[in-house]
Structure 1
């Protein structure tokens, strides 16, 4: 997919291994880089002749910030994260794709939004939380944020600012797993036991219906989701964003069917795949055994992609004509109601009708 050079306007070290980068968007690209809270940017870089692409959640908030901000934690062996944290400087340019992602969906009525974050998972959580609080729609927000020590808290000033500015509708609960005796707040990890112990208090904080957003390591989110469902929350009220997921499913088992709402297509051998990307139309044939993304890349279609394994969500798209089969592992990234809307991941999908049409813009 096309990238655009965005200038690093400001770089701030949040802690030893994490940096926030503010990016300038030229006036003529303002429309292309309009974003929703919780979306991510894909950053590309040529590393020794190899093009690498990684996704980073926007920690800035639509309407509240004039520039885009990504917050990057350096991970062991991470070529992109090390380059962004250690080597990128103010004035440099990053090759960036337009914002994508479906982590957050607008709420149609006031809710109590419980937000769970661990480490750098605060980036999309803070964006969504701030947007909800400043939307004046009557939401109550509880942010539960886990770190090792106070010195490792990312975006600490902004978390504190939001809690102070919206004291009537926002509660922030910081949890430290390795803090010294000077820490007087909650201790431990945001695990199943912690959530079970605190959930009644969180629920009692508001009479509004509860919805949950969480972001952090997979183990943290698996544990949290299990505890929340055990406390009676339906799975449809729990939303999660992953950044270290490994796709787990059996490719030999039957997949899930996704059908376009307005044009279900004609059954039979697939002859044509049409993709809409950036307002342009691309066409590809399909070869037995390949996924839709592979067919489109073979036809040199300018589609967004990165991992090609169903874990990064870059190839999220909407089926607007026909029917596809999607590997069951898609439910680690998308929800059943997303599939019912026609959303899918092109790298996990194969066509089931003669013609399909898939839109990468309509997400």
Structure 2
């Protein structure tokens, strides 16, 4: 995966265990590092004496902020997060991959954005909220942000600044508040959401964004679906997702719209063509081999990380052919994404003898 050397221009200590790192992108890399709100970048280094790559959401806003920013919380046992939080200083150089991900998809109509964040999950969501407001539309935002303690609130000034807008409501929720805390107490869980549900009514269509621990997001998603929210209107970013399916659980077929190619239910060897950064790479898959595996085996320089369907680094647009997809893809993508031909290369296997995927065309 291609990375570029960027200098840490500024370092801000957000909380005891969280920092924001700011990068100035050179002019010749402006297009390479163009991004949409809510996307992430992979940071590569060898802090523990071995090559490590980890994804961090961008907490900056494209077109508004003059820099690229990631906000990183130290994770127990996390070699990369510990390195970034405790050792990286202003002026240091880091290897950064271009932005990836599909958390935010723009719409043409005013929406009510229900944003549910927990802990460091605020990073991509505050960027999305700021971007929506910068658009100057008639959108409404309800921003619910859960933390344990008041001194653990990350990017608090930016979150609170959202509340100065007349169509934005911000509610901080603490599970271990101090005696002087005057905000909400508890957790952003189904019980809390149930108490607010009637106040969330709005004629504008609802769009939900979730980011935080997997248990938190799963509970919120189940609550929202039970109340009639379309699963396609709930988008989430996970930092600790574990794929909960296997190759034996069945899968879904996806045929590119208007593509008349016939597919098969049986495994096939295929020629896969991948477009990355305007360049083409080709590989030959073995029968029932994931597309990503074949590309990496051939030496193709394509974006990837976990290879397990949890990080979404290998998100692609299926441009030609038919693939069979492990059902766990719906933990990361939505059904509407699949209908548009957006898939994960690591969870996709060819069902036609030729498949073309595009790493660049994912919007």
When the two structures are superposed, what TM-score results if normalisation uses the length of structure 2?
0.96
Q: How many residue pairs were aligned?
A: 359
Greater alpha carbon shift after TM alignment, 40-49 vs 21-30: 40-49
Q: Distance in 1 between matches of 2:256 and 2:338?
A: 10
Partner of 2:181: 183
Unaligned runs of 5+ in 1: none
Partner of 2:2: 2
Deviations 1:327-356 (A, max 9, x none): 010000011110111111111111000100
Q: Distance in 2 between matches of 1:292 and 1:263?
A: 19
The CA deviation at 1:48 is 4.6
The CA deviation at 1:234 is 2.0
Distance 1:46 1:198, change over 3 A: same
The counterpart of 1:192, out of the listed 190, 193, 199, is 190
SS in structure 2 at match of 1:81: helix
Q: Distance in 1 between matches of 2:161 and 2:34?
A: 25
Partner of 2:354: 355
Partner of 1:89: 89
Deviations 1:81-113 (A, max 9, x none): 111101110001110111110001002200111
Partner of 1:308: 307
Q: Distance in 1 between matches of 2:47 and 2:10?
A: 23
Distance 1:262 1:231, change over 3 A: closer
Q: Is structure 2 residue 217 aligned with structure 1 residue 221?
A: yes
Q: Is the 8 A contact 1:261 1:320 kept in 2?
A: no
Q: Is the 8 A contact 2:270 2:350 kept in 1?
A: no
The CA deviation at 1:311 is 0.3
Partner of 1:44: 44
SS in structure 2 at match of 1:88: coil
Q: Is the 8 A contact 1:262 1:321 kept in 2?
A: no
The CA deviation at 1:213 is 0.8
Q: Is structure 2 residue 326 aligned with structure 1 residue 327?
A: yes
Q: Distance in 2 between matches of 1:199 and 1:317?
A: 36
Deviations 1:93-146 (A, max 9, x none): 110111110001002200111100000110111010001111012111110000
Distance 1:264 1:58, change over 3 A: farther
Q: Is the 8 A contact 2:270 2:287 kept in 1?
A: no
Partner of 1:124: 124
When the two structures are superposed, what TM-score results if normalisation uses the length of structure 1?
0.96
SS in structure 2 at match of 1:50: coil
Q: Is the 8 A contact 1:258 1:326 kept in 2?
A: yes
SS in structure 2 at match of 1:324: strand
The counterpart of 1:231, out of the listed 227, 232, 243, is 227
The counterpart of 2:172, out of the listed 166, 170, 174, is 174
Unaligned runs of 5+ in 2: none
Q: Distance in 1 between matches of 2:261 and 2:325?
A: 16
Q: Distance in 2 between matches of 1:224 and 1:294?
A: 34
Partner of 2:272: 273
TM alignment of 1:24-39, pairs within 5 A: 24-39=24-39
Q: Is structure 2 residue 65 aligned with structure 1 residue 65?
A: yes
Distance 1:264 1:81, change over 3 A: farther
User: Would you identify which runs of 4 or more consecutive aligned residues in structure 1 move more than 4 Å?
Assistant: none
Q: Is structure 2 residue 322 aligned with structure 1 residue 338?
A: no
Q: Is the 8 A contact 1:265 1:356 kept in 2?
A: no
The CA deviation at 1:34 is 0.9
The counterpart of 2:203, out of the listed 203, 207, 228, is 207
Q: Is structure 2 residue 55 aligned with structure 1 residue 55?
A: yes
